[in-house]
Structure formats: structure tokens, C-alpha cells
Amino acid sequence: TVREFETHAVILLSKFSAEKKEEMRKYASEFAYISDCVVSIPDVFSNEGNLEENRTNGGKEARLEMKGPTDLVDMSVEEVLNRLKVAINFLKKEYKPVSIGLVGFDFGGALVLDAINRRDFEDVVDAAVVYSPITEHFESKGSAPILTILSGRESETAAAIFKHKFASNALIQDYMIRLFPSDGGELDFDVEGLHSENGKKAFQFATAWMEIYLQKVN
């Protein structure tokens, strides 16, 4: 059977606080509109609560949220990655996307870097974007094309480290590192949204990266 249209999906990952949820939802809605994809916001870092599905923006944004505290308490990386798999399976079941991308902010960015290095995610994730990933130890082993957006006082040092890691990875399909300084020293949700010039530029790079690489998948 020939499909009349293809669906692409993106998962946003961030250990966000309750007051920042609305900013993230605005970002997700705009991302879905610009990149023409379904966007899911799973709160994979909560340590209690029940999964709850929400759909907004004409079905272009799907939120699979954990209702409960967002603090990462007594949870291993493996447990968090298992919750990410739940979110991915949810998207596959509900929307049957032909490609899936991951976008991570701060600790969520570190989680994305970890996920794309793992064999059980290798055939699932087709592209990735990370905003100022919080990670002390990073190895690049995966093949998914990745855009790294950095900000803050240590961004030039971090950029050199990321460049060396990516360049040493023979499997990676493509990578790009972009620096976007912000007045506050770090990219926060306001900057990641559409409220500043650098925020807008970073957003444009992120959506373009996903649009290009998700649509490359046959």
C-alpha cells in the first residue's frame, strides 16, 4: 500500500521545572509547525506518577507526560532511557512515523548523547539536536547526524571537545557545532524559544537540521 503522506516525529527531552513547562510547550508547538512533524514532550525524569497523553496544535504536538515531581531521584540512566523507549513506542504506535529525531536541553541533551551511542537506539533515532548538554564524560559512537548548540562562558572550550569527539567517530553521518552566546550566560527556556535574536537563530538551525535529516530517511 502506498502511503499518501509521511509522518516524522521529534521527542523533546529536558529536566524542566513546572514553571518552564509552558515555555517548552510553546517551543514544541512552534517546532512542530516549522518542521512539519509530530512533537512529543515526555517527562522521563519524574520518579513517580502515571503516564498521561495530551494532544494539541491540531495533532502536531503530542505530550506523553509523567504526572509528578520532575526531580531525578533514585533513578539510573538505564531507567530514564527505558522511559524514553516508552515514549518512542508511543509515537510509533500512535503516528507510525517514518523517522524520529531527538532534541535535548541541558541534562536532556546529555541523555540524547547517551541514547544515540547505544545499539538499541541506533536503528530508531535518525537525527539529534542538543542544547548545552550537561555532560562531563562523552564519547561519540553512534551514526545519527547531530547538531550541538552551545552557549555560555565555557562554550568555546566545549565546542573544541565536541569537535574532537565527533571527528574521531568514523560512523557519524554528519555533525555541526554552533555557538550562540546569551546575555544570561546560559541558554534558558526563554532563549531556547523565540524571545531573543540568538534564540531565534538557534531555533532556526534546530528546525532546519531536523527537517533535512528526518526527510532524508526512506
Please provide the average confidence, as pLDDT, over all residues in the chain: 77
pLDDT digits (tens, 9 = 90+) for 22-59: 777 888 888 998 888 999 888 777 654 433 444 444 44
Question: Is the confidence at residue 133, as pLDDT, over 80?
Answer: yes
Beta-carbon contacts of 182 under 8 Å, excluding residues fewer than 6 positions away, are: 151, 152, 188, 191, 196, 198, 199
Q: Record the pTM.
A: 0.83
pLDDT of residue 153: 66
